[in-house]
């Protein structure tokens, strides 16, 4: 029996080694960063069976073949593509170079820095929808807050509003079909984005997740940010263990871009083109506010990495301050280097994250990256109690970013994300004010670096690129 087992294990190991050779060629041909390539190749060499399993589950980075034809937010199937507009600055030019819409003027922007404020904003936006109501979220809960939101959506569908709900298959795995039955009965539709599969197939990946959180009403009002639709993120009353997060409402032409992002995702997931039945035109032009807003989606459907490029550019152009708020800080080397160089230039660089998040290993893996920032003269602040889930960046006095992307490789280079780039002092000041209040609840500093910890952190950093 032991001889048979040894023979079987030998065959398994040999087959895994052959597959690892195949995967190694694919990794070397890919556009991955050198650190990620090294981590995968080392994993293949040390433990081929584990390397095979992890690569099948987490190795995909960009959509390929049929899935690569997923529409982009700027593509219009009912007419010619929107021509590139004159850029208001270098960042606008960079975003447009990725084939994305230009910055839009005349937007009203309202930050929702509390769970109750965000919940009220979501219900208000749902109630104001007259023609269409499009919702996408990574996590849809099964709790009272989520059920109330679903009830409101079904209510609007019954009133004749076109309601479409898109949930990520992995993030919203606990949601069952019967939980969505009332919406279907009322005339709305729901779909699951990218059913999870360990074997990558068109439209089926375990690794590439839709992390966007967007609600769009009539293509003129949009809500987005870091909050998922469950009581862990938002609700009318305080809840124990609720995450500290940030969202916002945009009224104006930027909401149309969020609508395009949703419509492209919906077409890919559900096969229904929301843009074809009616002319894809913006609502009547009227200035809802002074905000200049640019929507920056990113993900596997793009040849490059729009948000990653914007983040690097924002860091390198910062002159006075660069504050980054993120629940998970495991950046790629380019992002880390940008923060380190910016801090060494004398800019007020601050990274705010968690002392203890919902993912303990990620907390540990983040420490060596945080040490690099602190060692360059930046400040590292970790939330004293609770869980920080907001994603935001403030640069100088007239530039800010907020949305769904964490400062980790998964958000920067893998997931479907959507960030708002605020080109204005009013919005930047609002995000900075929210950040200052949050930073008051953080402690500065990192654990002492003992020899044992130094080795452990080095190992965590070595394999962090494959997470």
CA–CA separation, 50 vs 37, rounded Å? 16
341/214 same-domain check: no
Percent of the chain with pLDDT strictly greater than 90: 66
Q: Which two tokens stand for residue 373?
A: 């920032």
Q: What is the pLDDT of residue 82?
A: 43
Residue 459 pLDDT > 70? yes
User: Given the DSSP bridges, would you call strands 291-298 and 104-112 parallel, antiparallel or unpaired?
Assistant: antiparallel
Q: What is the pLDDT of residue 76?
A: 41
Residue 318 pLDDT > 60? yes
Percent of the chain with pLDDT strictly greater than 70: 75
Residue 389 lies in a domain: yes
What is the widest separation between alpha-carbon atoms in the chain?
79
325/457 same-domain check: yes
* Local confidence band at 66 (pLDDT 50, 70, 90 cut-offs): very low
Lowest mean pLDDT among 169-183, 191-205, 250-264, 289-303: 191-205
State whether residue 312 is helix, strand or coil: helix
Residue 132 lies in a domain: yes
224/200 same-domain check: yes
Question: Mean of the per-residue pLDDT values for the chain?
Answer: 86
Domain boundary residue, one of 222, 252, 287: 287
Q: Which domain holds residue 279?
A: 66-82+110-287
Closest CA to 157 of 126, 136, 179: 126
40/70 same-domain check: no
244/391 same-domain check: no
CA–CA separation, 440 vs 463, rounded Å? 33
Residue 105 lies in a domain: no
Packed helices 2-29 and 34-46: angle between N→C axes, nearest 10 degrees? 160
51/70 same-domain check: no
Q: How many CB atoms lie within 10 A of CB 467?
A: 18
- What letter would DSSP give residue 186? T
Closest CA to 181 of 159, 158, 150: 150
Residues 6+ apart with CB under 8 A from 227: 115, 118, 213, 233, 234, 245, 246, 247, 389
Q: What is the pLDDT of residue 286?
A: 60
CA–CA separation, 59 vs 442, rounded Å? 35
Residue 244 pLDDT > 90? yes
Total tally of structural domains belonging to the chain: 3
55/70 same-domain check: no
Listed ranges 48-57, 190-199, 321-330; the one with the highest mean pLDDT: 321-330
Backbone angles phi, psi at 456, to 5 degrees: -60, -40
Q: What is the pLDDT of residue 194?
A: 83
- What residues form DSSP beta bridges with 108? 251
* Local confidence band at 455 (pLDDT 50, 70, 90 cut-offs): confident
187 or 8: which leads in pLDDT = 187
* Local confidence band at 208 (pLDDT 50, 70, 90 cut-offs): confident
149/189 same-domain check: yes
Residue 390 lies in a domain: yes
126/274 same-domain check: yes
Q: What is the pLDDT of residue 10?
A: 58
359/445 same-domain check: yes
User: Given the DSSP bridges, would you call strands 104-112 and 392-395 parallel, antiparallel or unpaired?
Assistant: unpaired
Contact 381, 351 (CB under 8 A): yes
Contact 257, 295 (CB under 8 A): yes
* Local confidence band at 13 (pLDDT 50, 70, 90 cut-offs): low
Q: What is the pLDDT of residue 33?
A: 59
274/358 same-domain check: no
Residue 322 lies in a domain: yes
CA–CA separation, 339 vs 300, rounded Å? 25
Residue 212 lies in a domain: yes
Domain boundary residue, one of 287, 317, 346: 287
Provide the CATH number for the domain around residue 375.
Answer: 3.30.870.10
Closest CA to 63 of 272, 271, 209, 270: 209
Q: What is the pLDDT of residue 303?
A: 84
pTM here?
Answer: 0.85
Per-residue pLDDT tens over the stretch 418-436: 999 999 999 999 999 999 9
Contact 242, 119 (CB under 8 A): no
What DSSP line would sit under 89-152, residue for residue? SHHHHHHHHTTPPPPEEEEEEEEE-SHHHHHHHHHHHHHH-SSEEEEEES-B-SSHHHHHHHHH
Residue 100 lies in a domain: no
Residue 159 lies in a domain: yes
177/248 same-domain check: yes
* Local confidence band at 81 (pLDDT 50, 70, 90 cut-offs): very low
Contact 235, 227 (CB under 8 A): no
Residue with tokens 């305080």: 238
């Amino acid at each position: 029996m032991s001889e048979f087992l040894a023979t079987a294990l030998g065959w398994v190991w040999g087959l895994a080694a052959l597959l690892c050779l195949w995967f190694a060629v694919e990794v070397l041909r890919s556009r991955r960063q050198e650190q990620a390539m090294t981590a995968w190749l080392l994993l293949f060499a040390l433990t081929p069976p584990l390397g095979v399993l992890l690569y099948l589950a987490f190795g995909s980075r960009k959509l390929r073949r049929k899935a690569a034809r997923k529409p982009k937010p700027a593509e219009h199937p009912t007419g010619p593509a929107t021509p590139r507009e004159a850029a208001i600055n270098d960042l606008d030019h960079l975003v447009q170079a990725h084939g994305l819409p230009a910055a839009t003027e005349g937007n009203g922007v309202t930050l929702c820095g509390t769970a109750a404020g965000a919940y009220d904003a979501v219900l208000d936006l749902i109630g104001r929808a007259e023609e269409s109501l499009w919702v996408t979220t990574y996590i849809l809960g099964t709790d009272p807050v989520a059920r109330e939101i679903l009830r409101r959506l079904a209510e609007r569908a019954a009133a004749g509003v076109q309601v479409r709900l898109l949930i990520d298959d992995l993030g919203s795995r606990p949601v069952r079909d019967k939980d969505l039955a009332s919406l279907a009965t009322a005339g709305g539709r729901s779909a699951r984005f990218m059913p999870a599969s360990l074997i990558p197939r068109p439209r089926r990946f375990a690794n590439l997740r839709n992390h966007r959180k967007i609600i769009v009403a009539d293509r003129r009002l949009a809500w987005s940010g870091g909050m998922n639709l469950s009581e862990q993120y938002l609700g009318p009353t305080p809840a124990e263990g609720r995450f500290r997060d940030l969202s916002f409402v945009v009224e104006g032409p930027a909401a149309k871009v969020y609508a395009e992002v949703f419509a492209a995702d919906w077409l890919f997931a559900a096969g229904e083109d929301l843009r074809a039945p009616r002319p894809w035109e913006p609502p009547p032009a009227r200035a809802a506010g002074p905000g200049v807003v640019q929507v920056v989606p990113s993900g596997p459907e793009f040849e490059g990495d729009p948000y990653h490029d914007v983040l690097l550019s924002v860091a390198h152009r910062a002159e006075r301050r660069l504050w980054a708020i993120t629940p998970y800080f495991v950046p790629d080397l380019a992002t880390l280097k940008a923060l380190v160089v910016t801090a060494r230039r004398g800019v007020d660089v601050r990274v705010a994250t968690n002392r203890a998040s919902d993912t303990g290993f990620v907390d540990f893996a983040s420490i060596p990256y945080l040490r690099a920032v602190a060692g360059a003269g930046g400040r590292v602040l970790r939330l004293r109690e609770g869980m920080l889930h907001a994603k935001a960046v403030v640069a100088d006095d007239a530039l800010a970013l907020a949305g769904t992307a964490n400062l980790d490789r998964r958000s920067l280079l893998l997931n479907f994300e959507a960030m708002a780039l605020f080109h204005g002092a009013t919005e930047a000041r609002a995000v900075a004010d929210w950040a200052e209040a949050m930073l008051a609840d953080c402690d500065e500093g990192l654990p002492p670096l003992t020899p044992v910890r130094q080795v452990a952190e080095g190992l965590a950093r070595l394999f962090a690129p494959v997470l």
